[in-house]
Amino acid sequence: MPEPRLHFVTSNENKRRELETVLGEPLGQESFDLPELQTSVLEDITRHKLRAAFDHLQKPVVVEDTSLYFSAWNELPGPLVKWFLQNLGPDGMVQALEPFRDFRANAVCCLGYTEDGETLYLFRGEVPGRIVPPCGSRQFGWDPIFQPEGFAKTFGEMSGEEKAALSMRARAARQFREFLSGENTSKNEP
Amino acid sequence: MPEPRLHFVTSNENKRRELETVLGEPLGQESFDLPELQTSVLEDITRHKLRAAFDHLQKPVVVEDTSLYFSAWNELPGPLVKWFLQNLGPDGMVQALEPFRDFRANAVCCLGYTEDGETLYLFRGEVPGRIVPPCGSRQFGWDPIFQPEGFAKTFGEMSGEEKAALSMRARAARQFREFLSGENTSKNEP
């Protein structure tokens, strides 16, 4: 089997599968620890990870970072959502939000891509929605408590295909796919 | 006036004053941005800041990082407390904790010191207490919502002297003071 042309740094197989579904090609999965900045700006975290990932691999590399913003909490959990999940779990997150009586939320994914470690490309996908009591599969982070706008079920209740059609990661990935096909076209020009 | 022998990297004058009160000597205050790692381990953040601060200044330097742990929330807010403050404020933090009906908290300060950027010294001070509705001065972070164990008032209701006698930063600073006086003694030995 030839080496995949893109390498995705993640320890999360679900994320890799979601990305492969949209891009329509297999990704090399690299799982090593990337330092993450403590900041509320998702793009800064992604750029920082991207540079560190390229330094490590020295080949075209893809990274991502995902944020979940509660309207009632300004920029929180934001990119810090993994700490909320790890310490409060999905149930605790809903419990902590309850007194604020505003359950609107925004899910954002930032994909980063670089070929040379110098030029960094970022692709952002967003999905508005609301936080609800946990429902459906608990396998993938905060999926069971996020209900995308216009749907009566959570990400946790959706199939991989349903989610791949509308998730923030899929939205970012579609932009990335367009960018890649544009790149290929121009490279194929005489 | 001679140059202070210790340089403290902080943009927070209150922190500098607290530290000076305990150490009994003026500190040079340096305020430049230090990158902070996104981790729940306070010591790792302090070490990372310390190395970055020494790289920047190239002289003996002191940094600190402070954490507030809610018993009901495992390692949160922890070192991420600044984001909670910035986005929820002290009132919002109390509100989010309320449904958990456990208000015990632990305040921890980690002071870091290096002379040469190689050997890093860490000093840890802890104060157990509880989270209460905001009371007293709102000038200094989460002081108005933290009531140290054995006291009927919050840090926000205490004078600088009272706080300097018992705060987590003062406790870490006293260890640092002892270390410095030990250092001086041994250096003065023939």
Q: Is residue A20 part of a domain?
A: yes
Nearest Cβ partner of B73 from A80, A87, A97?
Answer: A87
Q: Residue A83: its chain B contacts at CB < 8 A?
A: 38, 40, 75-76, 78, 80
Q: Residue B37: its chain A contacts at CB < 8 A?
A: 35-38
Q: Is residue B1 part of a domain?
A: no
Nearest Cβ partner of B74 from A73, A87, A95?
Answer: A87
Bridge-based pairing of strands B120-131 and B146-148 is antiparallel
Nearest C-alpha of chain A: how many angstroms from B150?
Answer: 27
Q: What's the CA gap between B135 and B157, in Å, rounded?
A: 7
Q: How many CA atoms lie within 13 A of A16 on its CB side?
A: 16
Q: Is residue A189 part of a domain?
A: no
B128 has which bridge partners?
A: B106
* Interchain CB contact of A36 with B (< 8 Å): yes
The reply to whether residue A100 touches residue B95, judged by beta carbons under 8 angstroms, is yes
* Interchain CB contact of B44 with A (< 8 Å): no
Counting the structural domains of chain A, the total is: 1
Q: Residue B84: its chain A contacts at CB < 8 A?
A: 76
Q: How many CB atoms lie within 10 A of CB B37?
A: 16
Q: Which residue of B has its CA nearest to A76?
A: B87
Q: Is residue B188 part of a domain?
A: no
Q: What's the CA gap between B26 and B23, in Å, rounded?
A: 8
Q: Is residue B190 part of a domain?
A: no
Q: Is residue A31 part of a domain?
A: yes
Q: Is residue A132 part of a domain?
A: yes
Q: What's the CA gap between B155 and B137, in Å, rounded?
A: 8
Nearest Cβ partner of A88 from B35, B39, B76?
Answer: B76
Residues 6+ apart with CB under 8 A from A114: A50, A51, A54, A60, A61, A120, A121
- For residue A124, CA distances in Å to A24, A26, A169 come to 19, 21, 8
Query: For residue B32, what is the domain's CATH number?
Result: 3.90.950.10
Q: Which residue of B has its CA nearest to A72?
A: B88
Residue A38: pLDDT band (50, 70, 90) is confident
* Interchain CB contact of A73 with B (< 8 Å): yes
The token pair at A160 is 């991989």
Residue type, B179: F
* Interchain CB contact of A102 with B (< 8 Å): no
Q: What's the CA gap between B47 and B83, in Å, rounded?
A: 20
Residues in chain A: 190
Q: Domain limits at B32? A: 7-181
Q: What is the pLDDT of residues A88-143, one digit of tens each?
A: 999 999 999 999 999 999 999 999 999 999 999 999 999 999 999 999 988 889 99
ipTM tops the 0.85 cut: no
The token pair at B176 is 């640092």
Helix, coil or strand: residue B21: helix
The token pair at A66 is 């995902």
- Is residue A51 within 8 Å of residue A117, measured between CB atoms? yes
Q: Is residue A37 part of a domain?
A: yes
Residue A184, pLDDT > 60, answer no
Name the pTM for this structure.
Answer: 0.84
- Residue by residue, pLDDT tens for chain B (190 residues) are 678 889 999 988 888 988 998 899 999 999 888 877 777 789 999 999 999 999 999 999 999 999 999 999 998 999 999 899 999 999 999 999 999 999 999 999 999 999 999 999 999 999 999 999 999 988 889 999 999 999 999 999 999 888 888 999 999 999 999 999 986 544 433 3
Q: Which residue of A has its CA nearest to B95?
A: A99
- For residue A101, CA distances in Å to A15, A43, A110, A130 come to 31, 29, 28, 12
Residue A71, pLDDT > 90, answer yes
The token pair at B29 is 């205050």
Phi and psi torsions of B91, nearest 5°: -65, -45
**CA nearest A162: which of A148, A142, A179, A178?**
A148
Residue type, A153: K
Encode A42-66: b = buried (16+ Cβ within 10 Å), e = exposed.
bbebbbbbbbbbbeeeebbbbbbbb
* Interchain CB contact of A52 with B (< 8 Å): no
The reply to whether residue B99 touches residue A100, judged by beta carbons under 8 angstroms, is no
